[in-house]
């Protein structure tokens, strides 16, 4: 069975896969290396080993966006962009 090292991204706060699928010994070694790094220097926090087919639970179907909602989202992003560039 293959394992991956997952960790929490500092920027998004979501758990994501850090390594490609490895055998358990290699995954344990890589997780240990991540834990040995100083916490302030790490990009990822709280590393953990999980079985390979690990994926976040996501909705399999997302409903289509209505046209007026799409326009509203576009206007909000333009307004937000203008505020950032000022």
Looking at the chain, the whole-number percentage of residues with pLDDT higher than 90 is 26
Q: How many other C-beta atoms are found inside a 10 Å radius of the C-beta of residue 22?
A: 17
Say what the pLDDT of residue 69 is. Answer: 52
Question: In this predicted structure, what is the pLDDT of residue 49?
Answer: 93
Q: Quick check: 25 pLDDT over 90?
A: yes
Mean pLDDT for all residues in the chain: 75
Average pLDDT over residues 6-17: 90
CA distance 23 to 16: 18
Q: How confident is the model at residue 7 (pLDDT cuts 50, 70, 90)?
A: very high
Does residue 75 have a pLDDT over 80?
Answer: no
């Amino acid at each position: 069975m293959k394992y991956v090292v997952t960790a929490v991204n500092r920027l998004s706060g979501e758990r994501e896969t850090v390594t490609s699928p490895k055998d358990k010994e290699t995954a344990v070694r890589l997780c240990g290396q991540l834990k040995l790094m100083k916490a302030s220097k790490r990009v990822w926090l709280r590393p953990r080993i999980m079985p390979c087919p690990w994926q976040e639970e996501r909705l399999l179907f997302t409903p289509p966006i209505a046209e007026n909602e799409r326009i509203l989202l576009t206007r909000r992003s333009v307004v937000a962009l203008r505020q950032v560039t000022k």
